[in-house]
Each structure stands twice: as structure tokens, then as C-alpha cells.
């Protein structure tokens, strides 16, 4: 199964790299494709998957499914037999969502992972879990994460995350990166 990330940010930001690395660990480098990435930025993520400058829109994919919150149908384990690849918008989700993946709606069948917004790496993880037999309602989630910094400040991540062993699954290094950002 291929997982295609249509990169929709202006740059490949540090947080993108952390999420893309996490996706690669979940599904394997050989199953991960990044599209819409400028040639100048390929080197930042090429060790995590195949990188293309062109958009997924020009790839003429067959049996592809767009993972989209507004889709009418929820992803089911049986969808693993219907589709060869799954397309995700590689964006830092705005809260509320801005609908930047709308341009892809008429190109692919669509499925959702519920109505709560997830980080892209979480959406890939959940999709992978479902395609390997779990139903969405069998996956444990936490909505909105609050991370406390050393100086008593709080960082709020207003998204849905998978919970494993009582803790939300986050990309390695994300909390440290957020703590070290100026103004946080």
C-alpha cells in the first residue's frame, strides 16, 4: 500500500520533517511518496520516502483514495482491497480547517477518519491501523493535547492523536521543537 503526501506548505518546515519521519517509521520508506515538493527541498525529506516535484494531480493515479474530513464514508478495513494508495494533504491543519485539499476532491474517491482534525502523521498512522484490520471505533484517541514547558507555559495542540500505552503518539522531537520556538 502506498501513502502519498501532497505537500501543501510553502516550505518543508522543521515540524514537517518530524511528521514525515514519523510517517516513514509507521509505513516504511518504500511505501511513502511526497508530492508537490520543490526540488530545492527534496534533500530535507528524501531519506523518508520518494519525493516528487509534481503534484499528485498530475500523476494519473488509479484506485487512489483521498483522506478528507468532509468525505461521506468512514475508512474501513475492507477499503484495503479497493484502493492501491491513499492521498493526504501535508499541511499544518488550521483550526478551524481551511479546506486546502478541496482541489483534490474531484480526482479521487474519498474517505474520512471521523470528524475531528488530526495531524497528517496521525492520519497516516490511523489509516495504516485501519487498513491492517482495526476499525476506527477500536482506536483510542485523545483530543487536544496540552504540553507544559519548563517555565510553566502551555502549548496547546488542538488536534486528535492516537493514544498508546496511555500516552498520545507524537513525532519524536516535536515537543522539544515546539518548546524551543521563539515566542513559546
Return the CATH number at 86.
Answer: 3.40.1280.30
- Report yes or no on 67 lying in a domain: yes
**Its pTM surpasses 0.85:** yes
Residue 184 pLDDT grade (very low, low, confident, very high; cuts 50, 70, 90):
very low
Lowest mean per-residue pLDDT among 16-20, 73-77, 122-126, 148-152: 148-152
- Report yes or no on 98 lying in a domain: yes
Of 121, 117, 123, 113, nearest to 170 by C-alpha is 121
- Report yes or no on 30 lying in a domain: yes
Question: 90-144, pLDDT tens digit by residue?
Answer: 655 555 555 556 666 577 999 999 999 999 999 999 999 999 999 999 999 999 9
- Report yes or no on 154 lying in a domain: no
- Report yes or no on 148 lying in a domain: no
- Report yes or no on 184 lying in a domain: no
- Report yes or no on 166 lying in a domain: no
Partnered with residue 85 across adjacent β-strands are 2, 64
Count: domains in the chain: 1
Cell numbers representing residue 53 in the block: 516535484
Range of the domain at 106: 2-136
Amino acid at each position: 500500500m502506498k501513502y502519498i503526501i501532497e505537500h501543501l506548505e510553502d516550505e518543508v518546515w522543521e515540524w514537517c520533517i518530524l511528521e514525515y519521519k514519523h510517517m516513514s517509521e509507521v509505513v516504511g520508506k518504500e511505501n511513502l511518496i511526497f508530492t508537490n515538493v520543490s526540488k530545492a527541498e527534496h534533500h530535507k525529506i528524501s531519506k523518508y520516502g520518494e519525493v516528487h516535484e509534481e503534484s499528485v494531480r498530475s500523476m494519473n493515479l488509479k484506485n487512489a483514495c483521498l483522506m478528507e474530513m468532509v468525505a461521506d464514508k468512514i475508512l474501513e478495513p475492507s477499503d484495503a482491497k479497493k484502493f492501491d494508495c491513499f492521498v493526504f494533504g501535508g499541511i499544518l491543519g488550521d483550526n478551524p480547517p481551511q479546506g486546502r485539499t478541496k482541489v483534490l476532491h474531484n480526482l479521487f474517491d474519498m474517505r474520512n477518519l471521523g470528524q475531528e482534525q488530526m495531524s497528517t502523521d496521525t492520519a497516516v498512522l490511523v489509516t495504516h491501523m485501519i487498513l491492517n484490520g482495526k476499525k476506527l471505533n477500536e482506536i483510542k484517541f485523545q483530543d487536544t493535547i496540552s504540553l507544559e514547558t519548563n517555565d510553566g507555559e502551555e502549548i496547546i495542540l488542538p488536534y486528535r492523536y492516537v493514544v498508546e500505552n496511555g500516552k498520545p503518539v507524537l513525532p519524536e522531537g516535536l515537543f522539544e521543537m515546539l518548546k524551543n520556538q521563539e515566542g513559546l
